[in-house]
Amino acid sequence: MSQSKHLGKATKNTQAASQAIGSQKRLFPVDILTEYPNNQGSADLQLIINGRDGRDYAVKKPSDGNGKIPASEFFCYELAYRVTIPTPNWAYINLTDGDLGFGSAWEGGVKSFSPALVLQILHNKIKVSNLKVFLSRLYAFDLFVNNVDRHWGNYIWREGYDQNLIALAFDFSRACFEVGHTGYDALRPGCNTQESFKLINLTLNYDRSEALRCLDIIASITASEIEDMISEIPTTWMTDKDKTSYIDWWGSQARLDRIVMIKGNI
């Protein structure tokens, strides 16, 4: 492809992205340089890429699942940031079909997952900074966003400066808009979130006061703040009608009742 044709394509992608996002902010989606074979064994992750910004990303597309996975990922990452639950960085990704994907940055310096690693971490054989706070807040958060799939492969254990590990949460594909934000599926015995919590609780890594504090912060977030947040969700991920419906729900008594109900079950 000639340079002029390439620049023309890039310009069209950027214009389409700006229209789809519908935000006044100047946002620059990342172009794909290379697509990697997906050998991660994940049903929800179909695309891993190297982007023009030099980073690798795990990408969720609007065609994945029931069509709400990118919106769920976006919203959960942004909400997690507001309640001090660390996640990887993320970016909009320019897909080859002209649409946008949600890209979660592929972290370096990460410990390979294994059951033995998890047990070493939970038994404090390997130090993780603020582990109990992280696990406790994330549990409450997952219940609120109805994430049914918090299994041990959906945690990142990254090397930190002080030789301790740093914990990050990722993969909210089976949460929120994708599975239904008003349900209580994540409280059902047997789901991955509850099975993981059993081990967290058994190894004394659960602090209920931190879980309650997370829910209190969520309760304090206004509908106006949520409107500002989800205005940046591309319309191909979430319709304007669905955005309005969620904003209205956030400002309703139903959301507060949900938080009270979760508090009574943690």
CA distance 36 to 209: 42
CA distance 173 to 176: 8
Give the model's pLDDT for residue 45. Answer: 74
Q: Which residue is associated with the tokens 């041990």?
A: 152
Topology (CATH level 3) of domain 3-105 = Phosphorylase Kinase; domain 1 (3.30.200)
CA dihedral 29, 55, 97, 233 (to 10 degrees): -40
Mean pLDDT in order along the chain per 10 residues (266 residues): 41 41 58 83 76 95 94 97 96 95 93 95 96 98 98 94 92 96 97 98 98 98 97 96 98 98 97
Give the model's pLDDT for residue 27. Answer: 66
pTM > 0.85: yes or no: yes
- The conformation of residue 107, written as its DSSP 8-state character, comes to -
Contacts by 41-46, CB closer than 8 A, 24 or more apart: 42/171, 44/69, 44/171, 44/173, 44/174, 45/171, 45/173
| Domain layout of the chain by residue ranges | 3-105, 115-263
94: three-class secondary structure by DSSP? strand
